[in-house]
């Protein structure tokens, strides 16, 4: 049913354009679908901000950059703040940037990584904003549904067209949110695996087999099993792999590579674009103007409501930032990648697969994002 709901997106856009001349209607219909564990994660952090907002001493403590969250217990409201943060981590603490990489630091391992986003939410929103935002977008989707069905009924064979469209809308509204659960489940298991591996690694450090417990991340799983069995490891192997990793980090992968290793290059068609436009892939409709914030590290985000996020790529860990932005531009992505899906659900115009976006667009510039047509204009 998840795949059927994704196919329904394409069907609705194609048929409504054919029947009504309506472009990207499915984007609005995708807003605030229920049971999306990723979009709920962004809204839930707004609720954490609601708990903290009434306590100036807690806000001051967090603004001073103190990573020891347990120290909050010493200030008024600190216990309430800690309880809210820990409750959030119980459900989402296994997530982090680059989360399919087992070695990445999880939010549960470093809760301070969430502080910049919490402070941004306190600054940008009034209390109960998460519920208001969700309900506003949900109502927009329902209004759009009623408008489309009413227009279809006025056409020849209108009742049939409306009935078929209604089925597709229901597929989107009822099942699209579940698309995020497989990734959520996978990452939840990864955190369990990581904890088990690090427990073994601690024993290896204790036995002086390895220098640091994180050294085990440079071993294949079968190699790790053998090291645990034999309590022996060639230290030069770890040193070499660390050096290799640093070198690989500097490489720039091709934009498209097939399973056979073929590298495919190409360019966007520009016939209908303004001369100075930056082309990309349209994934969430609408046009928005605002200040570009070029952010490569989620932990360094300092957003004002109405900013446009420009970054290399996003994954589910970036979702809490999406509640503050009004537009999205990424260098990597497609119609069904994370940024596109959450942008549609949050009602954010988005253009992805924009080559060199983070260098062509400068932080602080005013830009216009054409999420329907798939390009960006630099205004100043």
Residue-wise pLDDT tens digits, 29-49:
999 999 999 999 999 999 999
Q: pLDDT tens for residues 159-208?
A: 999 999 999 999 999 999 998 999 999 999 999 999 999 999 999 999 99
Higher pLDDT, 3 or 366: 366
The Cα–Cα gap between 26 and 124 comes to: 29
Smallest CA-to-CA distance from 347 within 60, 134, 78 is with 134
Mean pLDDT in residue range 122-126: 95
Residue 51: the pLDDT is 98
Residues with Cβ < 8 Å from 37, sequence gap 6 or more? 177, 180, 181, 184
Catalytic residue status for 338: yes
Give me 233's structure tokens.
């490891």
- Residue 255 banded pLDDT, cuts 50, 70, 90: confident
Alpha helices in the chain (DSSP H): 2-20, 25-29, 37-52, 56-63, 78-92, 115-124, 129-153, 158-175, 181-206, 221-230, 235-249, 319-322, 338-346, 357-360
Q: Give me the chain's average pLDDT, please.
A: 94
DSSP 207-257: TTSSSSGGGGGGS-HHHHHHHHHH----HHHHHHHHHHHHHHHT----S-B
Give me 234's structure tokens.
């060639």
The Cα–Cα gap between 237 and 254 comes to: 29
Residues with Cβ < 8 Å from 165, sequence gap 6 or more? 12, 15, 16, 148, 149, 152
The Cα–Cα gap between 29 and 173 comes to: 7
Residue 65: the pLDDT is 76
The Cα–Cα gap between 190 and 96 comes to: 12
Out of 86, 87, 206, 338, pick the active-site residue.
338
Instruction: Look at residue 261 and tell me whether its pLDDT is greater than 90.
Output: no
Residue 45: the pLDDT is 97
Lowest mean pLDDT among 61-75, 133-147, 161-175, 238-252: 61-75
Query: pTM of the predicted model, to two decimals?
Result: 0.92
Smallest CA-to-CA distance from 278 within 353, 372, 349 is with 353
Q: pLDDT tens for residues 274-296?
A: 989 999 999 999 999 999 999 99
Q: What percent of the chain has pLDDT over 70?
A: 99
Rounded to 5 degrees, what are φ and ψ at 67? -80, -15
Residue 1: the pLDDT is 64
Q: pLDDT tens for residues 300-352?
A: 888 998 999 999 999 999 999 999 999 999 999 988 888 999 999 999 999 99
What residue spans define the domains of the chain? 1-206, 208-251, 278-378
Residue 2: the pLDDT is 65
Instruction: Look at residue 66 and tell me whether its pLDDT is greater than 90.
Output: no
* CATH architecture observed for domain 278-378: 3-Layer(bba) Sandwich (3.50)
């Amino acid at each position: 049913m998840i795949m059927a709901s994704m196919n329904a997106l394409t069907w609705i856009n194609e048929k409504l354009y054919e029947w009504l001349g309506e472009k990207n209607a499915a984007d609005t219909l995708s807003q605030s679908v229920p049971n999306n564990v990723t979009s709920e994660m962004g809204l839930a952090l707004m609720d954490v901000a609601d708990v903290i907002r009434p306590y100036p001493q807690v806000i001051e403590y967090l603004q001073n950059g103190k990573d020891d969250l347990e120290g909050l217990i010493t200030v008024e409201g600190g216990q309430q703040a800690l309880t809210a943060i820990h409750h959030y981590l119980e459900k989402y603490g296994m997530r982090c940037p680059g989360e399919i990489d087992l070695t990445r630091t999880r939010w549960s391992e470093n809760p301070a990584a969430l502080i910049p986003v919490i402070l941004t939410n306190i600054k940008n929103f009034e209390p109960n904003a998460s519920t208001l935002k969700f309900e506003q977008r949900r109502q927009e989707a329902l209004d759009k549904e009623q408008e489309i069905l009413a227009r279809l009924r006025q056409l020849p064979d209108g009742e049939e067209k409306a009935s078929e469209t209604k089925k597709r809308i229901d597929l989107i509204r009822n099942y699209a949110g579940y698309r995020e659960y497989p990734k959520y489940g996978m990452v939840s298991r990864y955190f369990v695996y990581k904890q088990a591996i690090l427990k073994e690694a601690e024993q290896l450090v204790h036995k002086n087999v390895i220098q640091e417990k994180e050294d085990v991340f440079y071993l294949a799983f079968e190699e790790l099993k053998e090291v645990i069995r034999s309590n022996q490891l060639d230290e030069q192997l770890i040193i070499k792999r660390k050096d290799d990793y640093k070198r690989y980090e500097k490489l720039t992968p091709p934009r498209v590579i097939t399973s056979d290793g073929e590298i495919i290059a190409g360019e966007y068609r520009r016939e209908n674009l303004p001369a100075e436009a930056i082309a990309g892939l349209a994934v969430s409709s609408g046009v928005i103007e605002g200040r570009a914030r070029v952010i490569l590290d989620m932990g360094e985000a300092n957003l004002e409501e109405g900013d446009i996020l420009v970054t290399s790529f996003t994954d589910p860990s970036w979702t809490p930032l999406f509640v503050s932005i009004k537009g999205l531009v990424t260098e990597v992505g497609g119609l069904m990648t994370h940024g596109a899906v959450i942008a549609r659900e949050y009602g954010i115009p988005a253009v992805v697969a924009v080559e060199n976006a983070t260098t062509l667009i400068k932080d602080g510039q005013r830009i216009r994002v054409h999420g329907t047509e798939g390009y960006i204009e630099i205004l100043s």
